[in-house]
């Protein structure tokens, strides 16, 4: 029982002046993880043998045999060194003689060599919504896949559009310097320098999940969203306008903001929210002693005929499912319910104890049953029956507790857009002294 109380205490929907709370939902912001091919300038400290060879050549000791005699080293070792310096355009070699080139004189002055090289930068994350490169992608919790397309934000990104990275060259350079600091070659005298971003070598789609509260204004036209978690507030600020715009343009959350009204009127229990319950929950949160007395009082306030508070349904569903032995679900239109996210949330929780699902109407029973079986294999047992009922949705636990769901049609954005806000009611099916033992 105390676990349920804790769950109810954790419900803390943020107030939004002038707006009505609709529901808690989530959106997935797209990002692009890329590997960029680049050109860089590398600086290497001049090795001691290279330095001595260059100094001797600069002093006029240019014959290979003469260099061997002066240095007192094996000719093969010297030839390898000369070949390496020649490839780097530091010296010019003929069969038996060497001379300094411009780069050789500069290398001798600075005691370092400079090379232009091709390389890659990994982990360059691009935000296609705001058209910017993320300099600190470690702050984000990325997901590789999102299967609910209705919650994925839309964003344009050309896979081969290298111009967006060139426009963000300062951010790309910071990522480049960070990588160079990690993997810097100890033989280098300085950190590498980024010269150009050449092309996109590889692209991976990533997503960041943002749980949100959705609100509609009292007038019904405006919508607003707030972050559920305080940690996401700064993140949401960057995408809030775009999320609302995409909702209005029906690019995301099309299953929430629909173009149709309710099929009909449904029975609404005449129960009110229990105001005393909220006060007692606040008292429970403040109190650190004698909580058993408060829990006992809360039990009576929770399990009575009443309208549930927003977001209370899932906590009560989980608790009653754990405590009961048999569950029945009733819906008005089976095909509507099977396609709705409502069923996706509920069925995995109750499947192990679900005895029967009954419905009033169904347009395509065979197809609907197939959809339900994809959600949970429990429906392969054929526990679906037709029965007249006045409820839009109801779920009964051991024939003792009944939660009734009633959709409330709210027009938003324009005259053709609706939200069906679900209100839930708890109805006690038997007398108080015969209640399910929930202690």
Mean pLDDT, the chain, as a whole number?
Answer: 87
Q: Is residue 381 predicted with pLDDT exceeding 70? A: no
**What's the CA gap between 103 and 114, in Å, rounded?**
9
Q: Whole-model pTM? A: 0.78
What is the mean pLDDT of the segment spanning 400-421? 91
What is the mean pLDDT of the segment spanning 135-162? 89
What is the mean pLDDT of the segment spanning 274-283? 88
What letter would DSSP give residue 71?
Answer: H
The fraction of the chain above a pLDDT of 90, given in percent, is 43
Among 351-355, 397-401, 432-436, top mean pLDDT goes to: 397-401
From 110, 44, 43, 52, select the one nearest 78 (Cα to Cα).
Answer: 52
Alpha helices in 207-312 (DSSP H): 233-248, 275-286, 291-302
Residue 171: pLDDT band (50, 70, 90) is very high
Long-range pairs for 168-174: beta carbons < 8 A, 24 or more residues apart: 168/126, 168/132, 168/133, 169/194, 169/197, 171/132, 171/133, 171/134, 171/135, 172/36, 172/121, 172/124, 172/133, 172/197, 174/135
Sign of the torsion formed by the C-alpha atoms of 368, 370, 373 and 379: positive
What is the mean pLDDT of the segment spanning 280-301? 84
**Residue 402, strand partner residues:** 396, 427
**What's the CA gap between 136 and 134, in Å, rounded?**
6
Query: Which class is 47-110 in CATH?
Result: mainly alpha
Q: Is residue 185 predicted with pLDDT exceeding 60? A: no
Say if residues 352 and 322 touch (Cβ distance below 8 Å). no
The fraction of the chain above a pLDDT of 70, given in percent, is 95
Lowest-pLDDT range, 124-128, 156-160, 344-348, 435-439? 435-439
User: How is 265-280 classified by DSSP, letter by letter?
Assistant: --------B-HHHHHH
Residue 432: pLDDT band (50, 70, 90) is very low
Q: Is residue 127 predicted with pLDDT exceeding 90? A: yes
pLDDT at residue number 189: 56
Q: Is residue 223 predicted with pLDDT exceeding 50? A: yes
Domain ranges in the chain with CATH number 1.10.10.10: 47-110
pLDDT at residue number 436: 47
What is the mean pLDDT of the segment spanning 377-404? 84
What is the mean pLDDT of the segment spanning 133-154? 92
Phi, psi of 134 (to 5 degrees): -80, 120
Of the two residues 428 and 381, the one the predictor is more confident about is 428
Domain ranges in the chain with CATH number 3.30.870: 261-269+305-434
Of the two residues 423 and 46, the one the predictor is more confident about is 423
- CATH assignment of 261-269+305-434? 3.30.870
Lowest-pLDDT range, 176-190, 287-301, 346-360? 176-190
């Amino acid at each position: 029982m105390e676990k349920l109380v804790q769950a109810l205490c954790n419900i803390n929907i943020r107030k939004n002046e002038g707006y009505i709370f609709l529901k808690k939902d989530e959106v997935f912001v797209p990002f692009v993880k890329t590997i960029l091919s680049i050109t860089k300038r590398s600086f290497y400290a001049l090795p001691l043998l290279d330095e001595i060879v260059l100094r001797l050549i600069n002093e006029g000791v240019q014959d290979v045999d003469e260099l061997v005699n002066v240095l007192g080293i094996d000719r093969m070792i010297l030839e390898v060194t000369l070949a390496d310096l020649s490839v780097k355009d530091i010296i010019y070699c003929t069969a038996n003689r060497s001379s300094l080139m411009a780069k050789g004189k500069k290398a001798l002055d600075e005691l370092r060599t400079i090379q232009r090289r091709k390389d890659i930068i990994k982990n360059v994350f691009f935000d296609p919504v705001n058209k910017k490169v993320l300099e600190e992608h470690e702050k984000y919790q990325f997901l590789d896949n999102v299967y609910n397309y209705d919650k994925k934000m839309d964003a344009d990104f050309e896979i081969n559009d290298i111009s967006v990275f060139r426009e963000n060259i300062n951010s790309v350079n910071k990522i480049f310097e960070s990588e160079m600091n990690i993997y810097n070659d100890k033989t280098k005298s300085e950190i590498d320098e980024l010269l150009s971003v050449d092309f996109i070598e590889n692209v991976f789609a990533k997503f960041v999940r943002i749980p949100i509260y959705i609100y509609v204004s009292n007038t019904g036209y405006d919508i607003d969203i707030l972050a559920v978690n305080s940690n996401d507030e700064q993140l949401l600020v960057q995408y809030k306008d775009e999320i609302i715009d995409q909702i209005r343009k029906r690019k995301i959350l099309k299953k929430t903001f629909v173009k149709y009204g309710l099929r009909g009127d449904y029975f609404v229990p005449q129960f009110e929210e229990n105001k005393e319950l909220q006060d007692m929950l606040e008292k429970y949160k403040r109190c650190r002693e004698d909580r058993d007395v408060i829990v006992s009082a809360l039990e009576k306030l929770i399990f009575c005929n009443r309208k549930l508070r927003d977001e209370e349904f899932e906590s009560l569903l989980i608790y009653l499912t754990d405590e009961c032995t048999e569950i029945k679900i009733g819906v008005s239109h089976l095909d509507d319910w099977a396609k709705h996210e409502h069923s996706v949330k509920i069925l995995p929780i109750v499947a192990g104890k679900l005895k029967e699902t009954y419905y009033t109407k169904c347009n395509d029973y065979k197809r609907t049953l197939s959809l339900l079986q994809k959600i949970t294999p429990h429906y392969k047992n054929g526990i679906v029956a037709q029965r007249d009922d006045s409820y839009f949705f109801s779920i009964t636990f051991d024939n003792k507790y009944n939660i009734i769901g009633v959709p409330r049609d709210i027009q938003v954005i324009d005259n053709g857009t609706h939200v069906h806000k679900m209100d839930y009611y708890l109805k006690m099916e038997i007398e108080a002294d015969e209640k399910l033992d929930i202690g």
